[in-house]
Structure 1
Amino acid sequence: MAFYVQGVPIGYMAVMLAVLASMGGFIFGYDTGQISDILLMDDFLLRFGTCTSATDASQCHFSDVRAGLIVALLSIGTLIGALLGAKTADVLGRRRAMTAECIVFTIGVIVQLTSFHAWPQFAVGRLISGLGVGALSAAVPMYQAETAPPQIRGTLTATYQLFITFGILVAYCISIGTRHISGSGSWRTVVGISILWALILGVGILFMPESPRWLAAHGQFDKAKISLARARGIPAHEAESNWKVHREVADMRAAIEQESKLQATWMDCFRPQKKQLYRTLLVMTLQMFQQLTGANYFFYYGATVFQSVGIQDSFVTQIILGAVNFGCTFGGMYVMERYGRRMPLMVGGVWQSAWLFVFAAAGTAKDPQVNPGIGKLMIVSACLFILGYAMTWAPGIWILTGETFPTRTRSMQAALAAGSNWLWNFLLAFFTPFIVKAIKFRYGFVFAACNLTGAVIVYFFLYESSDLSLEDVDIMYCDPRVKPWTSRSWAPEGFTSRADVAETKKADKGFVGMEEARMERNAVNGNGYPTEKVSNGSGEVDQAETV
């Protein structure tokens, strides 16, 4: 069964596998959202905080170091897991790797559940869970990008971020429902439900098709054709004869044969040839700036932040922020598909910076605890910041992580990019309590400057990769004629524009006819770049080699 996008058939299986794999993002979002509220629960404070009363939670508190470690050790685990996840995904395959990582995550949850009075055990449990979450963060976007049709790759890959926001929102809702349960059930219920999410992903993903590019990289071209056919809405028995499947597998085979001449190593990620170093550093930097937008300042410590502005029930405010984050991510899926990657990220950076400036200026000008109007302005500013973040930087960076790198080194470069995200995630989670104590709401000015810097980096360094196959994205980055700010007009050899690519695929002329049309419109020089037809001034047309 299939539906059509840009006149091209898309299989429902492509949507199903993207949604199911995105449970990896849901698991991370749920773990991110739960800890902010758990830190305020009475039983958790009495068990793991520093208390002057054995029964009155209001007499308990967490030191900055203890709170930072409980929150941030998850991020250390995710950093290590992301780096190990690359090799795991290459050896086991994308699907089986996700199942193994769900098992690791579950072990960490069990360690947390069996904590009674030792906060280091709870923190170590979050560290172990982080190993699984980090490995999933490398495997899931890669699996989605390698399997999704180019016409909706941005949308399907963005479901990872959508499910992160959904997980955060669900954690907030469950927390507000369990906070009044007597005893440890208040927080153990929130933590224990995590096992259900891991079970859904770990078992369900085994019923989805394997990544066709992973299959092709391991010489299983027949299986790669069947996997592609299922994602394109083409019956499996037609996989061998269908020209669309044939062409995609042919592109994969050509790319893999070229890449297989050298065995991929971690050092290949940092070689300047074919802009490998450029792409590795670019996406690692963008992942860093995704953290430096300041979003996790609200997600990790939001309940505490809104208590400080005089909100009586900060749990409710958290749900409002989570709902804005989740709802606006749907808009982000449309924006990233409709307007590409570069423009949304640049506009988003400016928008986010503006509202963070308002947030910080308001909180600095007057004490929000004695000025209710200022507190409300800060909440509105935070919501509008989250609106922009959810529609641009939140989904956009994970899309780029899946589609920027070549097949041979994609898993390793994706792992390095995800590792950059988790490293900065840890630094912000751990040091935020200390920074807030020193500069209070002026912290927002720091994030505002970082958002503007991220927008500038996107303009000068990021290539527009929307609407292209992963193989064509690789070719574009290697084309010396293309600059980031002109990359939107670049099209694969044989096509006049990216819109022409979609129109040609709509025609469904047959694989041979399509290739003949490509060769008629563009000749190819010895370097593999297209030649251009230029007028010689007498009405005739000569071939001019493009350098």
Structure 2
Amino acid sequence: MISKPEAKLEPGDTPALSNAAEQTISFAACLLGTVASAGGFMLGYASGQISGFFPMNDFAQRFGEEQADGTFLFSAVRQGTIVGFLDIGCLLGALLAGKLADAAGRRWAISLMAFFGCVGTAIEISASRGRWVQFALGRAVTGVSVGSLAVVVPMYQAESSPAAVRGLVVSLYQLLVTLGIWAAEMVNWATEARADSGCWRIPNGLGVIWALALGVGILFFPESPRHAFRKGHAEEARHTIARLAGLDPNSPGVEREMAAIKAKLDEERRAAETRWHDMFTGDRMLYRVALGVVLEACMQLTGVNFFFYYGTTVFKSTGISNSYVTQLVFGSVNVVCTVAGLYLIHRAPRRAALIGGAACMMACFFVYAFVGHYSLDHEDPMRTPAAGAVLIAVSCLATAAFASTWGLLVWSVVAEMYPSQYRAKCMALATAANLLWNFLISFFTRFITDAIDYFYGFVFACSCAVAVLVVFFFLIEPKGRTLEEIDTMYILRVPPNKSGKWRAEDVRH
């Protein structure tokens, strides 16, 4: 068993050679990734719709606070609570997802959590006038659903996909998140002119369609081969690997991957019984848990959600005052660049893409902070059109950089870095960190910008600089590796800056 860098491998424990060269981009693998990624669409749709509800008259009259002049507004606390309860639910769902995925299996966990999302939608839609707390609690229930899916879907994709296309397949999750946001914005734009409750109830109710499609559709696909193998279903695992890789079940590539999975499982069983705290004390596990948590936190602290929350303010400098048009602009940039990023991540190393994306966002936020604070006329932005144009350009560029790199890759690299016996729990913890920071940003941004206005960009710029350092010094290059090879590289303490050239056959018996 490998337990430290200088340890010898037993002959049966030799990592498999990468099978990427033998594998094809099979239709089955792409279809599995796309259907499972509907969980990402649910998350994006739930997140993207709420900002469009607040300007709707019927929504404000039902859940807002009446003013002396008869208008209805939302205080910072009430608005932050309604928005943030989705993230609170997501946090709870992420923490519960690991146990559920191990107990029920990845596929059934996805189906159950998808159906649970329908409960949250029903609570939201049935909220009557003045029952804003009920609406917020409904968002929390929906959050439990999509938060669990944010853990289990990338895990299922990573464990099922061939190494040749694993990054691409897992990244489909983020693509569907962006499409969900864009779809919510489009539906809001189509219904916002209605005078009745259909303006917000129709967009809300459509969420049931995506939940039912995922809950039923995922049951037509096989269980994760690695989970199936751990449960004693070796032949099921073999045929799933072969089908998704486009290979014959008895081909050398499938044999090597089965041998690698068996070697890792045998290694786990030779060790003492796994307890929950072993996810921190296991071989190089504290390093990997901390890295996953930091990467997921950095994904939020790159600041892209700031543009989605406050893009309306930026675009007012060009005379665009319709908030629904603003949302569509950013949403469209997000979708287009996410699609372009799928090609990038299939070709480029993960480390280089993450470092380049964070560096670009850092530069954008420095420009944003300086121009917004010193050059933009805050009282009448129309008097400084050049500054407004710069803010729009860097906002769109930062969104593009995030969509094509960090938005796609973090889910993938985090899903790949843990061994099977810890993967569910570790991914739950890492995803919880992502959702916690998402909540903190969504709830406190309005208070922070009221205090330091555009200087808030410096916070995100410094966070992006930290993200560059974290990836360069700590993340091992996973592109083209099997999950078992990645685990071995962390255990052997392969230097991250040299990990792209490491070969499994370099390990000596």
- TM over 0.5: same fold? yes
Report the counterpart of residue 5 of structure 2 in structure 1.
Answer: none
Q: Check if 1:207 corresponds to 2:220.
A: yes
Report the counterpart of residue 81 of structure 1 in structure 2.
Answer: 93
Report the counterpart of residue 476 of structure 2 in structure 1.
Answer: 463
Report the counterpart of residue 530 of structure 1 in structure 2.
Answer: 508
**How big is the shift at 1:311?**
2.8
SS of the residue 2:431 aligns to:
helix
Instruction: Tell me if structure 2 keeps the 8 A contact 1:212–1:228.
Output: yes
Q: 1:111 to 1:303 in 2, by over 3 A?
A: farther
Instruction: Tell me if structure 2 keeps the 8 A contact 1:348–1:389.
Output: yes
Instruction: Tell me if structure 2 keeps the 8 A contact 1:360–1:444.
Output: yes
1:193 to 206, 212, 215: 206
* C-alpha distance in structure 2 between counterparts of 1:258 and 1:349, whole Å: 37
SS of the residue 1:8 aligns to:
coil
Q: 1:306 to 1:69 in 2, by over 3 A?
A: farther
1:49-448 mapped onto 2 (5 Å cutoff): 49-52=64-67, 59-117=71-129, 118-234=131-247, 239=249, 241-260=250-269, 261-271=271-281, 273-303=282-312, 306=315, 311-365=320-374, 366-367=376-377, 369-370=381-382, 371-448=384-461
* C-alpha distance in structure 2 between counterparts of 1:346 and 1:21, whole Å: 28
1:472 to 468, 485, 501: 485
**How big is the shift at 1:50?**
1.4
**How big is the shift at 1:79?**
0.7
**How big is the shift at 1:264?**
3.0
Report the counterpart of residue 11 of structure 2 in structure 1.
Answer: none
* C-alpha distance in structure 2 between counterparts of 1:223 and 1:126, whole Å: 38
Q: How many residues align?
A: 485
Instruction: Tell me if structure 2 keeps the 8 A contact 1:36–1:303.
Output: no
Q: Which runs of 5+ in 2 are unaligned?
A: 1-18
* C-alpha distance in structure 2 between counterparts of 1:127 and 1:135, whole Å: 12
* C-alpha distance in structure 1 between counterparts of 2:184 and 2:448, whole Å: 26
Q: Which has the larger radius of gyration?
A: 1
Report the counterpart of residue 18 of structure 1 in structure 2.
Answer: 33
Deviation digits for residues 290-337 of structure 1 (CA, Å, limit 9, x no counterpart): 100111112244346645875311211211111111111122222222
* C-alpha distance in structure 2 between counterparts of 1:110 and 1:164, whole Å: 22
Instruction: Tell me if structure 2 keeps the 8 A contact 1:37–1:303.
Output: no
* C-alpha distance in structure 1 between counterparts of 2:429 and 2:287, whole Å: 13
Instruction: Tell me if structure 2 keeps the 8 A contact 1:71–1:300.
Output: no
Amino acid at match of 2:311: G
Report the counterpart of residue 510 of structure 1 in structure 2.
Answer: none
Amino acid at match of 2:78: R
* C-alpha distance in structure 1 between counterparts of 2:23 and 2:108, whole Å: 30
Report the counterpart of residue 55 of structure 2 in structure 1.
Answer: 40
Q: 1:406 to 1:5 in 2, by over 3 A?
A: closer
Q: 1:491 to 1:138 in 2, by over 3 A?
A: same
- The TM-score normalised by the length of structure 2 is 0.92
Q: 1:5 to 1:331 in 2, by over 3 A?
A: farther
**How big is the shift at 1:8?**
2.8
* C-alpha distance in structure 1 between counterparts of 2:313 and 2:65, whole Å: 17
Single out whichever of 259-268 and 150-159 deviates more from structure 2: 259-268
Report the counterpart of residue 9 of structure 2 in structure 1.
Answer: none
Q: 1:304 to 1:33 in 2, by over 3 A?
A: farther
Deviation digits for residues 485-536 of structure 1 (CA, Å, limit 9, x no counterpart): 1111111126xxxxxxxxxxxxxxxxxxxxxxxxxxxxxxxxxx326xxxxx
Deviation digits for residues 31-86 of structure 1 (CA, Å, limit 9, x no counterpart): 111111112212111111112279x6xx3221111111111111111111001000
Instruction: Tell me if structure 2 keeps the 8 A contact 1:35–1:300.
Output: no
Single out whichever of 21-30 and 354-363 deviates more from structure 2: 354-363
Deviation digits for residues 263-305 of structure 1 (CA, Å, limit 9, x no counterpart): 333311211x421000000010010011001111122443466
Report the counterpart of residue 10 of structure 2 in structure 1.
Answer: none
Instruction: Tell me if structure 1 keeps the 8 A contact 2:354–2:468.
Output: yes
Q: 1:299 to 1:350 in 2, by over 3 A?
A: same
**How big is the shift at 1:445?**
1.5
**How big is the shift at 1:455?**
0.6
Q: Which runs of 5+ in 1 are unaligned?
A: 495-528, 532-547
Report the counterpart of residue 3 of structure 2 in structure 1.
Answer: none
2:495 to 458, 483, 495: 483
Amino acid at match of 2:508: P
Amino acid at match of 2:177: I
Instruction: Tell me if structure 2 keeps the 8 A contact 1:85–1:415.
Output: yes
Q: 1:215 to 1:45 in 2, by over 3 A?
A: same
Report the counterpart of residue 497 of structure 1 in structure 2.
Answer: none
Q: 1:468 to 1:346 in 2, by over 3 A?
A: same
Instruction: Tell me if structure 2 keeps the 8 A contact 1:307–1:314.
Output: no
Amino acid at match of 1:220: H
Instruction: Tell me if structure 2 keeps the 8 A contact 1:87–1:412.
Output: yes
Instruction: Tell me if structure 2 keeps the 8 A contact 1:32–1:299.
Output: no
Instruction: Tell me if structure 2 keeps the 8 A contact 1:36–1:302.
Output: no
**How big is the shift at 1:97?**
0.4
Amino acid at match of 1:38: F
SS of the residue 2:24 aligns to:
strand
Deviation digits for residues 434-472 of structure 1 (CA, Å, limit 9, x no counterpart): 111111222111111111111111111111111100000
Q: Percent identity?
A: 41
Instruction: Tell me if structure 1 keeps the 8 A contact 2:303–2:460.
Output: yes
RMSD of equivalent CA atoms: 1.8
Greater relative CO (CA pairs within 8 A, separation 6+): 2
Deviation digits for residues 64-123 of structure 1 (CA, Å, limit 9, x no counterpart): 111111111111111110010001111111111011101221101111001122111111
Report the counterpart of residue 524 of structure 1 in structure 2.
Answer: none
Amino acid at match of 1:279: R
**How big is the shift at 1:24?**
0.6
Instruction: Tell me if structure 2 keeps the 8 A contact 1:363–1:378.
Output: yes
Amino acid at match of 1:530: R
* C-alpha distance in structure 2 between counterparts of 1:462 and 1:317, whole Å: 36
**How big is the shift at 1:347?**
1.0
Single out whichever of 302-311 and 277-286 deviates more from structure 2: 302-311
* C-alpha distance in structure 1 between counterparts of 2:57 and 2:68, whole Å: 12
Single out whichever of 298-307 and 99-108 deviates more from structure 2: 298-307
* C-alpha distance in structure 2 between counterparts of 1:127 and 1:259, whole Å: 37
